[in-house]
Amino acid sequence: MTDGGDGRPDLGLGRAHTARIYDYLLGGKDNYAADREAAALALRVQPHARTVAHANRAFMHRVTRVLAAEYGVRQWLDIGTGIPTRPNLHEVAQSVAPEARVVYVDNDRVVLAHATALLGSAPEGRTAYVHADATRPRAVLEAPELAETLDLDRPVALSLNALLHFLPGDPRDVVGPLMDALPSGSVLALTHATRDLAPEMWDAIAAIYRGAGNPLYLRTHAEVRGLFDGLDMVAPGLVIAHRWRPQHVGTGATAATAAVTDADVSLWAGVGVKP
């Protein structure tokens, strides 16, 4: 982050930004002209880009509710939080279990500027925000805010939604150390963009993001499935996001996400439990 010249931080409002593009596609208001221009380019290539964003968000809502209601999860570590869009993860979790605790993590100054919106916990539970880089998992795990909020001797759900496809290199270098630090019964839940089903379209989308300074690293089903090695996959396994337990209504699902094809969404989604 740089200084804008008047003592205030420069949040790069003249440059397209992944968190703000996502906010725009979700119908949010925390975005600017550069973000909307990049989104417009993506929408020309992928007319269902808004639906992709909503499908990702709906998956997060469904899996959070399922883990709280059916698996008894009461702690979440959400990395790559993005700009808050209600309902946030803690609001979904605490609607089932008011005592749920959530730590949000992002390394983005834009997200940091909105972090107070993530801290409105139910009285019985707790939320915290850690400003840290996902590519430095040890720094995440050693953050005092995490230690004050989560008990790492009890199961934790690690949420990595729409994050890993923005990280270069081997994503196992991020997922592995995080899951190694969590106890038996902990859960990995993630989504990841892929070119498996519509390579030409997603190559074009990746070019737009790359041109805006936000490169995408699209990975295959096999590569994403490998992130769950050593975990017990929760049914229905690794599937396109809108196919993961769509019967769980009232959790962010929409008619729009139900109508699109797998190629339109092109987000692998899965959940695995640490034995």
- Only one residue has tokens 């570590």, namely 77
Q: What is the pLDDT of residue 31?
A: 79
Global pTM exceeds 0.85? yes
**pLDDT tens over the chain, length 275 residues:** 333 444 444 445 567 877 788 788 888 777 788 889 888 888 898 888 888 899 999 999 999 999 999 999 999 999 998 887 788 999 999 999 999 999 999 988 878 887 777 788 889 999 999 999 999 999 999 999 999 999 999 999 999 999 999 999 999 999 999 999 999 999 999 999 999 999 999 999 999 889 888 899 999 999 999 999 999 999 999 999 999 999 764 444 444 445 689 999 999 999 999 99
Q: What is the pLDDT of residue 14?
A: 66
User: Is the backbone peptide bond immediately before 183 cis, with ω within 30 degrees of 0?
Assistant: no
